[in-house]
């Protein structure tokens, strides 16, 4: 997606808007909930800045590898995950971090995860982003991704109306590699898997192109590069891991995204007179609490708001905040379909590319690896479907030349 440089006055205004809203959000979270919530909101802002400046998109990295066999993005993800398990596993094995109890995102290994991840994977390519990608591109000013986000929320809500049917499909109880094997063996096993995936990307990239892709040279350096970007992908992966670890320390569990989107949709539906509170999903204690309480108290919602504002600040500092509301009809349709698939799939799979993949694998949950496999398969299907909605991506026929 091409980025149009924003006029200087528009960028300056949006810098101040983002900055003021981040300050107000931090103060509000502190006064209403407490210091931890304020810090988590700021971590969300830092996540948004990192995602934008590093262009750390799971969707684009997977699409580039599937189409072009370029694996720089996937290798950055493996580095990110390797650092994550190195930090997370000892804390989760001990059950505490800095004296506070912590728990990982460990969920059942089930058919619902396989089906949900597959649906989510297709939705990533049609919607134009994953969960974190949708949030940071909305914050950065993408009008099309606002449509994806709205239908992401809608798909999440639809899934909650009958989610237990999916959860009752054949499944195994949650399997933690940390508890099953111990911290050190679980680390070794994960490191080997990360190395195999990274080596595979190197093999296929060299086979197709002869050499590995080089990181583009940045025009900015020093503090200017830090404020305006772009950041190297590896920097992005490392910073995202450190921020996820900070989330674990403050919230007692890793970073997640999509549970809040279901809450936003459920609250909106309640305002419109739909009795979602009577649904089994919203009668579970934690979900009922999220539905009835103010969003100030919902950690995931506050971090999501922070992500969008952090991305707004980053895009504005880079001079690239320039919303474009001229969205082609096919692209708009893809955003609707993709958004619904993202929301629906995330609920079935106990999370998205963040809650299930990043934080799931960082937690030592076997369901995180299952999510990766089936989401990648779904991405492959999604890449095949994209030319229907984005005609510019159709392979061009080769020109015949005379002998």
Has residue 392 been placed in a domain?
Answer: no
Alpha-carbon span 318 to 229, nearest angstrom? 7
pLDDT tens, position by position, for the chain (403 residues)? Answer: 434 445 555 568 999 999 999 999 999 999 999 999 999 999 999 999 999 999 888 999 999 999 999 999 999 999 999 999 999 999 999 999 998 999 999 999 999 999 999 999 999 999 999 999 999 999 999 999 999 999 999 999 999 999 999 999 999 999 999 999 999 999 999 999 999 999 999 999 999 999 998 888 777 777 777 777 789 999 999 999 999 999 999 999 999 999 999 999 999 999 999 999 999 999 999 999 999 999 999 999 999 999 999 999 999 999 888 888 889 999 999 999 999 999 999 999 999 999 999 999 999 999 999 999 999 999 999 999 999 999 877 654 433 333 3
The tally of domains found in the chain comes to 1
Query: What's residue 395's pLDDT?
Result: 58
Query: What's residue 29's pLDDT?
Result: 98
Residue 115: both structure tokens together: 């089906």
Query: What's residue 260's pLDDT?
Result: 97
Query: What's residue 2's pLDDT?
Result: 39
Q: What is the DSSP string of 86-111?
A: HHHHHHHHHTEETTEE-------EEH
Query: What's residue 225's pLDDT?
Result: 76
Has residue 394 been placed in a domain?
Answer: no
Closest CA to 262 of 336, 331, 348: 348
Has residue 3 been placed in a domain?
Answer: no
Has residue 403 been placed in a domain?
Answer: no
Residue 142: both structure tokens together: 């993408």
Q: Name residue, tokens 């995602």.
A: 51
The full length of the chain comes to 403
Q: Is 172 helix (H, G, I), strand (E, B) or coil?
A: strand
Domain around 328: 8-210+221-385
Instruction: Please state the pTM of the whole predicted model.
Output: 0.93
Has residue 390 been placed in a domain?
Answer: no
For the chain, the first-to-last Cα distance in angstroms comes to 38
**Contacts of the segment 21-27: beta carbons below 8 A, 24+ positions apart:** 21/309, 22/306, 22/309, 22/310, 22/313, 25/302, 25/305, 25/306, 25/309
CB 150 within 8 A of CB 332: no
Alpha-carbon span 320 to 228, nearest angstrom? 10
Query: What's residue 394's pLDDT?
Result: 65
Cis peptide before 30 (omega within 30 of 0): no
Phi-psi region of 130 (alpha: psi -120 to 50; beta: other; left: phi over 0): beta
Q: Is 176 helix (H, G, I), strand (E, B) or coil?
A: strand
Q: Name residue, tokens 């992908």.
A: 233
Alpha-carbon span 53 to 139, nearest angstrom? 13
Closest CA to 48 of 209, 261, 239, 191: 239
Q: Name residue, tokens 């929320």.
A: 153
Q: Which helix (H) or strand (E) holds 171?
A: strand 171-172
Q: Which helix (H) or strand (E) holds 139?
A: helix 131-139
Residue 346: both structure tokens together: 């995330």
Residue 3: both structure tokens together: 């980025």
Give CA separation, 288 vs 57, 178, 200, in Å: 32, 31, 45
Q: Is 307 helix (H, G, I), strand (E, B) or coil?
A: helix
- 221 secondary structure, DSSP code: -
């Amino acid at each position: 997606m091409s980025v149009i440089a924003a006029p200087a006055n528009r960028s300056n205004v949006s810098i101040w808007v983002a900055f003021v809203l981040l300050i107000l959000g931090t103060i509000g979270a502190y006064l209403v909930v407490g210091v931890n919530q304020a810090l988590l909101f700021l971590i969300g802002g830092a996540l948004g800045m990192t995602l934008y400046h590093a262009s750390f998109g799971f969707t684009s990295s997977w699409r580039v590898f599937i189409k072009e066999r370029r694996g720089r993005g996937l290798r950055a993800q493996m580095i990110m995950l390797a650092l994550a398990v190195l930090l997370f596993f000892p804390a989760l094995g001990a059950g505490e971090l800095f004296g506070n109890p912590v728990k990982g995102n460990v969920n059942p290994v089930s058919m619902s995860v396989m089906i949900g991840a597959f649906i989510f994977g297709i939705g990533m390519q049609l919607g134009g982003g994953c969960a974190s990608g949708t949030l940071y591109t909305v914050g950065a000013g993408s009008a099309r991704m606002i449509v994806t986000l709205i239908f992401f929320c809608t798909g999440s809500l639809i899934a909650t109306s009958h989610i237990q049917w999916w959860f009752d499909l054949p499944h195994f109880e949650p399997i933690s590699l940390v508890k099953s094997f111990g911290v050190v063996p679980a680390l070794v096993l994960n490191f080997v898997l990360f190395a195999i995936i990274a080596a595979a990307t190197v093999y296929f990239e060299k086979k197709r192109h002869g050499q590995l892709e080089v990181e583009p040279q940045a025009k900015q350096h020093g503090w200017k590069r830090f404020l305006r970007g772009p950041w190297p992908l590896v920097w992005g992966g490392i910073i995202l891991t450190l921020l996820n670890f900070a989330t674990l320390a403050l919230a007692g569990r890793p970073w997640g995204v999509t549970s809040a989107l279901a809450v936003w949709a459920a609250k909106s539906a309640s305002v419109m007179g739909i009795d979602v509170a009577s649904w089994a999903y919203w009668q579970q204690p934690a979900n009922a609490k999220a539905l009835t309480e103010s969003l100030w108290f919902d950690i995931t919602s506050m971090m999501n708001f922070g992500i969008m504002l952090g991305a707004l600040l980053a895009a504005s500092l880079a001079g690239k905040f320039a919303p474009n509301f001229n969205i082609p009809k096919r692209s708009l349709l893809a955003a609707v379909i993709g958004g619904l698939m993202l929301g629906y799939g995330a609920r079935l799979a106990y999370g998205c590319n963040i809650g299930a993949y990043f934080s799931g694998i960082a937690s030592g949950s076997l369901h995180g690896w299952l999510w990766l496999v089936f989401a990648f398969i779904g991405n492959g299907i999604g890449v095949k479907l994209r030319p229907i909605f984005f005609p510019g991506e159709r392979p061009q026929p080769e020109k015949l030349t005379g002998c």
